Every structure is written in C-alpha cells, then in structure tokens.
Amino acid sequence: MLSTMARVNVELKARDPTPESTLARCIALGAVDQGALEQRDSYFTARRGRLKLRNGDEGSELIAYRRLDSAEQAESTYVLAPVSEPEALSEALDAALGTVVVVSKRRRLFLWEGVRIHLDEVEGLGSFVEFEAVLPAAGHRAEAQAKVNRLRAELGIDDGALVSAGYADLLMDGPQALRRAADSAMRNAYAPYSRFKVGAAVRGGSGAIYAGANVENAAYPQGQCAEASALGALVASGETAITAVAVVAEKLEVCPPCGGCRQRLAEFGGPETPVYLGRPGGTPVEVTLGELLPGSFGREALRE
C-alpha cells in the first residue's frame, strides 16, 4: 500500500490527431496557460506499481504511483519525493533495480478548475492530451470525474482516441517486456531433475510485471510451475488481477502453460487476457486465456 501521504488524481489520456485545434479549444475554454515544460522520466523496475524519476523544468522528483490500465478515466494514487541529486539517484536506482525505459516529452500545461490539462509531444510516440483532476483541488471524486467528462466533450475526444496504457508501456512494447522478464526468470529456474527450465511473467492491473520460474523438488508433487511462481509474486505484492501473460522455455520455441496453470491464470485474468508464447527477439505466438482454457471453471460458479 502507498503511504498516507499519497495523493489521488482522476486521469484520462488520449491520442491527439489535431494538436493545434486542441490548443485553441483549451484557450477558448478559459484554461490558464502555464507554459511549456521539458520532462524526462526514467522508469525503474518496481515491485508494486510504477516508479519513475522525473527531471524537468520544474525540478526533479521521484514518483511512485499506481493506476489501472483503463481507456476510461481512472484514479491514480501517487507519492512525490523531491530530489536534490537526480543523477546520483538515477545511477543508484539503475544499479539496484534496473532502468526499464526513458520517456522524453515536451508538455504544454494548462490549469482549469483544479484540473491539469497536458498537451504532450512524446518522443517516439507523437501527440497526446491528458487530464489530471487533482483531489481535492478539483472537488470530491464525483466533481472531479464530471470535470474530466466535460473537458473530454469540450476538446472533442472520441472513444477511438482513448489510450489505456501509459507512455512507458507504449514505448516498451508490452509483449517484448513481458517475454524479457519471463526469460530472465527462466535462467534462474531450479530444475535439476527434468532439466526443463521455464519462466513466466504476468502484468498486474497496476502495470507492474511479476516474474517466476519453475521450482522442482525431489518429492515431485511438491514442485511448482513458473506460472504459479509469478502469480505468487503478484499476490504477495497486493494485486489480484492480470492483464497479460508471457511464458518461455529453454528447450522449446513455444511452451504453452500446462492444464493446471491455465486454471491458475484464469483465476486472475479473463478470457480476453493475452498470453504471449516464445522467446524474446522473435515474433510471439499470441493466444488468449479463453482459447487456452475454453469452458473454464471460475469463481462465478461458486456464487450462491
């Protein structure tokens, strides 16, 4: 859990095919122009949620946050920590955790009734518009949500423009990031009996990636599959939902989950959850949990 110092935003992000028009609409709406900002966000491997070090015109700060991947408006809970020596901190975080991706952007910032309007030009991705209704400056949750909906209508944002993932995820290429995590875990697998190493990685609803490897035991039934290890890490970190899965094996190009693991994954994902099979670098074989386990037995069967 994030601390009691955590702040909350109501957020919405969308691609912006007409940035000049969006800028004109912001001005016509009466939003207050705060000028342009240059920002560089370095993302590091995080056990819970996301962790980034921001360097920009407003100074440097470490930001830990959680936000569900959703195309619709969603709440983001975050903690900010001002940083006086960003280069040294970045080096330490990279050495201890590893840098995942760096996002560079130019942001035009507007303020409207407690809502931050970001008109972003993201290097490698293009133009976006983002709303952050800061609580309680934008009012209580219902008021903040209503303001975001009004801004979406005023700026003419269509459903097809909405984006569920953050800039870091869009740059990373989700399947490759998951397969790299699974491959790294596979190399640490404990498989002295079968000599068949497997790695798995799942992405939680917060965007964090949890990886695991198979762990064998001399008493064979006590062994654990890689998927079970990854799900254990997910649950231990406080999450109970997955949005994507990757499975890799040392001796096979494609290694689908066993029957038991398909049921384990179905407990935390849905029929539409993508499963990427295959080693990093190549083209993954993509299936869904529904295709792997049709007619699955789920929690709905246990409801009275």
Residue 304 has pLDDT above 70, yes or no: no
The CA distance from 190 to 216, in Å, is 6
Pairing of strands 274-277, 242-249: parallel
The residue among 60 and 174 whose pLDDT is bigger is 60
Residue 241 has pLDDT above 50, yes or no: yes
Residue 63 has pLDDT above 90, yes or no: yes
What pLDDT, on the 0 to 100 scale, is given for residue 2? 47
Q: What is the mean pLDDT of residues 243-267?
A: 95
Q: If you search the block for the tokens 């975080």, which residue do you land on?
A: 93
Q: What is the mean pLDDT of residues 158-171?
A: 87
Considering only 122-126, 147-151, 275-279, which range has the smallest mean pLDDT?
Answer: 122-126
Q: What is the mean pLDDT of residues 4-27?
A: 90
pTM: predicted TM-score of the whole model, two decimal places:
0.66
Band of residue 72 on the pLDDT scale cut at 50, 70, 90: confident
HEC per residue, 124-152: CCEEEEEEEEEECCCCCHHHHHHHHHHHH
Helix (H, G, I), strand (E, B) or coil at 246: strand
User: How high does pLDDT run on average in the chain?
Assistant: 91
- 164, 71 contact by CB (below 8 A): yes
pLDDT digits 0-9 by tens, 21-37:
999 999 999 999 999 99
Q: What is the mean pLDDT of residues 280-299?
A: 88
What pLDDT, on the 0 to 100 scale, is given for residue 257? 97
Residue 247 has pLDDT above 60, yes or no: yes
What pLDDT, on the 0 to 100 scale, is given for residue 235? 94
Choose the catalytic residue: 130, 132, 227, 239: 227
Structure-block tokens of residue 111: 């303020």
143 is catalytic: no
Band of residue 299 on the pLDDT scale cut at 50, 70, 90: confident
> Residue 89 burial (CB < 10 Å; 0-12/13-18/19+)?
middle
What pLDDT, on the 0 to 100 scale, is given for residue 265? 97
For the chain, domains (ranges, CATH) are: 7-171 (2.40.320.10), 173-302 (3.40.140.10)
Residue 280 has pLDDT above 70, yes or no: yes
What pLDDT, on the 0 to 100 scale, is given for residue 132? 96
